[in-house]
Amino acid sequence: MPDPINVPVPCTCPQAHEDGDVVYLAPKLGLRGGLAVESAMTEPDPTMAVAWALITNNVVGWTKTDANGDPEPITEENLDALLPYAQGGEIVSNRAASLYLEDAFGPFEQRRKDSLQRSRTSGQTRPLLASHKPSRRKRSGSSSEPASDGQPSKA
Ligand SMILES: [Zn+2]
């Protein structure tokens, strides 16, 4: 396994580390992290969800310790509490973004482009909201819906 990336951050431990703390980030976006980012893209606020997914899935170690000097486990709660935004959190987040964003969005962008092209060429551009219409019955006799064979309707 390749060496992790060391990210120096200010110490926030009860027993202060004179040299500050270090957060270790995975050198590459792993499969789990990539899938987490993919999933986060569908969140109402993807920016926040993606950034958080990048951190929670890629911090592989740190020097944070509790009041007894024992290592703090890396959990989402601890990441939140022990890496305050202004005391390492923002540093780690930025570092994670620069390390992984390309890996995270490369495949995603490519697939999005592919699927955009597919849906354009197959003519399936029906708006999602159409299915929310209360009634399908219409009074006008003419066929107002385009044929389902994907031919563009000429006005
Ligand atoms: Zn510390």
Cβ atoms of 99 and 29 closer than 8 Å:
yes
**Predicted local distance difference test score (pLDDT) of residue 86:** 97
Q: Give residue-wise pLDDT tens across range 133-143.
A: 555 555 555 55
How far, in Å, is the centroid of ligand 1 from the Cα of 96?
Answer: 20
For residue 43, the enclosing domain spans 5-121
Q: Are 22 and 6 in contact (CB under 8 A)?
A: yes
Q: 52 alpha carbon to ligand 1 midpoint, in Å?
A: 22
> Ligand 1 centroid vs 88 CA: distance in angstroms?
11
Contact of 124 with 147, CB cutoff 8 Å: no
Task: Give SS3 for 70.
Answer: coil
Residue 128 counted as domain residue:
no
pLDDT digits (tens, 9 = 90+) for 67-118: 999 999 999 999 999 999 999 999 999 999 999 988 988 877 787 788 888 8
Helix (H) or strand (E) holding 148: none
Share of the chain above pLDDT 70, in %: 76
Q: Quick one: average pLDDT of 125-139?
A: 53
Contact call for residues 64 and 72 (beta carbons, < 8 A): yes
At residue 116, what are phi and psi to the nearest 5 degrees?
-65, -45
Residue 126 falls within a domain, yes or no? no
DSSP 8-state symbol, 131: G
Total tally of structural domains belonging to the chain: 1
Domain contains 49:
yes
Per-residue confidence (pLDDT) for residue 66, from 0 to 100: 97
pTM given for the model = 0.69
CA 152 – CA 107 distance, rounded (Å): 31
Q: Is residue 130 part of a domain?
A: no
146 occurs within a structural domain: no
Query: Is 151 a domain residue?
Result: no
How many angstroms does the Cα of residue 15 sit away from the middle of ligand 1?
7
In a domain, 135, yes or no: no
Average pLDDT value for residue range 32-55:
93
Q: What is the DSSP string of 66-84?
A: -TTSPBPP--HHHHHHHS-
Å from CA of 84 to ligand 1 middle:
13
88: left (phi over 0), alpha (psi -120 to 50) or beta: left
Q: Is residue 143 part of a domain?
A: no
